[in-house]
């Protein structure tokens, strides 16, 4: 039997932190670490398996022989097995063979802390370290300004496997290729941030990455870890932030993954009412177990620390918060107070956000939370969950329901759009038109729009124009920015050929200019989460299906007046009340010919009149195009 040299990276302090759920950089200790002991090169391995009675490392350096390299269990009842194996090195492929003390069951597992994994369908871990030299110092020093809550925050959501493929070679684009093409495109479109659907290693393509088996390894589908760092680096060098989808809500049952790791329910909750997700056929983390909390929070910190991520969008938060989520009566057990809230998950989320913001005060955590759970984006010291932002799912549902209606019926549904303003400032909301809205028979966003071809594209331009001038930040899924006609297909490239057609090219130009408008106009971002940044002019004109409102910044001179006409009937002399007298200049018109609009309904710079309207002393007659939005600003 080959020698395993006793060795440890853990101090007593590390062990105490781990056991108490407060060790947030476990990736520096667990996993495989290339090192040299007494002049001998090799790899230190460490794994948590408290129910094991034997753990051995099997790999290509010992012909996958069980028992050849047995790790040593620590004496301190931490459940950690560790040791140094001479001869192993960078690129060594390995797994842990675990003999459980429970019925002598054997499991063969990938390393939960591995930095690199084999390309699927292979499932082993790979010893890895990289010496990537970052070149994003300028961004990292000033990113607090870019990621602030009072900064423009317009996000392009991307699925790396389908954004653009090398069709002639029938393969994915690599991280390196994305560092060129994706970065160039996002910069040209003026988005401030990119959000990547999960890039942590996952075994099953149809899961889109939301069934993670390698929490510390960028998926090998697109290249090496340092190549992913290059993609992040290039985004930063072009003043673009990167948000990573993060999945602490559940994990798959694949035999090489975290499930039943040492023959026991180690990472998952042992009670199926809390530990099994019926919808996704996956396992739910045991948020009450300290070592599991350390694992998850360390993972969040890892991507911010090692890969310079600017934020984490936390997936399926609602499924974590409620014990009865997608469960019938009798399939869940109330908490100690008789309620349906998962108190352990709430505590974990608070601790995670506190740890993240303490270590990285210049990033954002964003909750995909679909219920009315209160104070998701409020500080933990006043009882909130501590997220920076929360997805505004109610706005998304109401808005898409409204826009799919024929314009003649919209007069009866005015409240669908006005309702969002009754709760818009209860959280720091992000407006989402995400991948979830363009799959499973829902149609593309364009496919929801009613009318003939011109009206469908005009409706889409109006939807985006309304979205970008509504309070809050926003996120738009790939393909939606040029009016993808078909639903999203994760197995194919976006329909880039559509850009040869004027209507699609017009949508793309509109989104590009809306991003510019958003970034250049302080009224659209300085108070985007405050009621002080929004004021209705008139929300009651249901007969004409017209909405008018004001967006406000720190200075009155930055005020922007917005008018939306939700019908194909142009409004040629539409009177609006204005906040003060002065000259108003049109700064945006969704009906511009540049966007495939008519170009026939433009507003010249006009002075207000001292004629009261909409409960204001001054007013102005404007032109609102059919299915169009116009925005005005006071002229100096």
Which CATH number belongs to the domain containing residue 24 in this structure?
A: 2.60.40.10
Phi, psi of 572 (to 5 degrees): -90, -25
Burial class (CB in 10 A: 0-12, 13-18, 19+), 65: middle
pLDDT at 1 over 60: no
Rounded to an integer, what distance in angstroms lies between the CA atom of residue 600 and that of residue 584? 19
- Tell me the three-class secondary structure of 542-554, residue by residue: CCCCEEEEEECCC
168-213 per-position pLDDT tens digit? 888 899 999 999 999 999 999 999 999 999 999 999 999 999 999 9
In this structure, what token pair is assigned to residue 475? 């996120």
Asked if residue 139 is part of any domain, the answer here is no
Asked if residue 7 is part of any domain, the answer here is no
254-275 per-position pLDDT tens digit? 999 999 999 999 999 999 999 9
Maximum distance among all alpha carbons in the chain?
95
Rounded to an integer, what distance in angstroms lies between the CA atom of residue 414 and that of residue 300? 42
The catalytic residue positions are 315, 368
CA proximity to 567, closest of 462, 470, 425: 462
First to last CA, the chain: 84
Rounded to an integer, what distance in angstroms lies between the CA atom of residue 329 and that of residue 327? 7
343-364 per-position pLDDT tens digit? 999 999 999 999 999 999 999 9
577-622 per-position pLDDT tens digit? 999 999 999 999 999 999 999 999 999 999 999 999 999 999 999 9
Q: What single-letter DSSP state applies at residue 460?
A: H
Residue 497 sits in the same domain as residue 588: no
Asked if residue 519 is part of any domain, the answer here is yes
What is the domain count for the chain? 3
Residue 536 sits in the same domain as residue 519: no
Q: Which domain holds residue 47?
A: 12-126
What pLDDT is recorded for position 191? 98
Q: Which residue is associated with the tokens 């992040």?
A: 232
Contact 419, 411 (CB under 8 A): no
Residue 119 sits in the same domain as residue 164: no
pLDDT at 406 over 90: yes
206-234 per-position pLDDT tens digit? 999 999 999 999 999 999 999 999 999 99
Q: Which residue is associated with the tokens 């797994």?
A: 95
pLDDT at 91 over 90: yes
Domain containing 565 — which CATH number? 2.60.40.1180
Those residues whose C-beta lies under 8 Å from the C-beta of residue 19, and which sit 6 or more positions away, are 78, 290, 291
Pairing of strands 52-59, 618-624: unpaired
Angle at 372 between CA 412 and CA 531, to 5 degrees: 70
What pLDDT is recorded for position 3? 85
Asked if residue 238 is part of any domain, the answer here is yes
The last residue of one of the domains, among 524, 539, 565, is 524
Rounded to an integer, what distance in angstroms lies between the CA atom of residue 608 and that of residue 559? 15
Residue 373 sits in the same domain as residue 501: yes
pLDDT at 143 over 80: yes
Rounded to an integer, what distance in angstroms lies between the CA atom of residue 331 and that of residue 607? 65
Asked if residue 131 is part of any domain, the answer here is no
| Run of H or E residues at 458 | helix 453-469
Domain containing 231 — which CATH number? 3.20.20.80
75-86 per-position pLDDT tens digit? 999 999 999 999
pLDDT at 575 over 90: yes
CA distances to 268, 379, 515, 518 from 363, rounded to whole Å, are 29, 15, 21, 20
């Amino acid at each position: 039997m080959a020698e395993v040299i006793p060795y440890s990276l853990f101090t007593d302090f590390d062990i105490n932190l781990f056991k108490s759920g407060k060790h947030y950089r476990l990736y520096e200790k667990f996993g495989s670490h290339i090192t040299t002991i007494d002049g001998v090169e090799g790899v230190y391995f460490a794994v948590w398996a408290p129910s094991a009675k034997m753990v051995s490392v099997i790999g290509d350096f010992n012909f996958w022989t069980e028992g050849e390299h047995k790790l040593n269990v620590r004496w301190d009842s931490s459940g950690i097995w560790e040791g140094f194996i001479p001869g192993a090195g960078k690129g060594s492929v390995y797994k842990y063979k675990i003999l459980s003390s429970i019925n002598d069951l054997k499991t063969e597992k990938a390393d939960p802390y591995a930095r690199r994994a084999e390309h699927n369908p292979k499932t082993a871990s790979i010893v890895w370290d990289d010496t990537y030299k970052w070149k994003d110092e300028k961004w990292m020093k000033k990113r607090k300004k870019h990621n602030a809550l009072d900064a423009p925050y317009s996000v392009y959501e991307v699925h790396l496997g389908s954004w653009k493929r090398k069709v002639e070679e029938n393969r994915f684009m690599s991280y390196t290729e994305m560092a060129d093409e994706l970065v160039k495109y996002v910069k040209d479109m003026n988005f401030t941030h990119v959000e990547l659907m999960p890039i942590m290693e996952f075994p099953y393509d149809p899961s889109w990455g939301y069934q993670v088996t390698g929490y510390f390894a960028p998926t090998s589908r697109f290249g090496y870890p340092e190549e992913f760092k290059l993609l992040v680096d290039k985004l930063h060098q072009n003043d673009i932030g990167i948000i990573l989808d993060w999945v602490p809500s559940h994990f798959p049952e694949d035999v090489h993954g975290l499930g039943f790791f040492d023959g026991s329910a180690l990472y998952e909750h042992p009670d199926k009412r809390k530990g099994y997700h019926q919808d996704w056929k996956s396992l739910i983390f045991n948020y009450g177990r300290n070592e599991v909390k350390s694992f998850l929070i360390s993972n969040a910190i890892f991507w911010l620390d090692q890969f310079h991520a600017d934020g984490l969008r936390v997936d399926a938060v609602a499924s974590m918060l409620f014990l009865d989520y997608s469960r019938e009566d009798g399939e869940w057990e109330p908490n100690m107070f008789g309620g349906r809230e998962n108190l352990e998950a709430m505590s974990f989320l608070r601790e995670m956000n506190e740890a993240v913001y303490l270590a990285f005060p210049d990033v954002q955590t964003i909750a995909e939370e679909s219920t009315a759970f209160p104070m998701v984006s409020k500080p933990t010291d006043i009882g909130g969950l501590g997220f920076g932002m929360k997805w505004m799912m109610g706005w998304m549902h109401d808005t898409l329901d409204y826009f799919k209606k024929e314009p003649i019926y919209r007069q009866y549904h005015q409240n669908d759009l006005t309702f969002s303003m009754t709760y818009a400032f209860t959280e720091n909301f992000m407006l989402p038109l995400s991948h979830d809205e363009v799959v499973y028979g829902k149609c593309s966003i364009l496919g929801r729009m009613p009318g003939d071809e011109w009206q469908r594209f005009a409706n889409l331009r109006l939807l985006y124009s309304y979205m970008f001038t509504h309070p809050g930040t926003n996120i738009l899924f790939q393909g939606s920015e040029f009016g993808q006609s078909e639903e999203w297909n994760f197995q194919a490239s976006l329909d880039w050929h559509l850009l040869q057609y004027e209507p699609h090219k017009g949508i793309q130009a509109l989104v590009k200019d809306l991003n510019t408008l958003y970034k250049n106009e302080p009224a659209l971002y300085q108070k985007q989460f405050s009621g002080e940044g929004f004021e209705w002019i008139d929300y009651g004109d249901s007969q004409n299906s017209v909405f008018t409102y004001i967006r406000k910044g720190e200075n009155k001179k930055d005020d922007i007046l917005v008018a939306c006409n939700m019908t194909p009937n142009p409004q040629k002399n539409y009177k609006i009340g204005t906040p003060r007298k002065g000259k108003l200049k049109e700064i945006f018109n969704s009906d511009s010919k540049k966007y495939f609009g008519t170009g026939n309904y433009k507003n010249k710079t006009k002075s207000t009149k001292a004629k009261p309207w909409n409960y204001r002393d001054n007013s102005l007659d404007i032109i609102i195009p059919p299915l169009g939005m116009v925005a005005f600003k006071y002229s100096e």
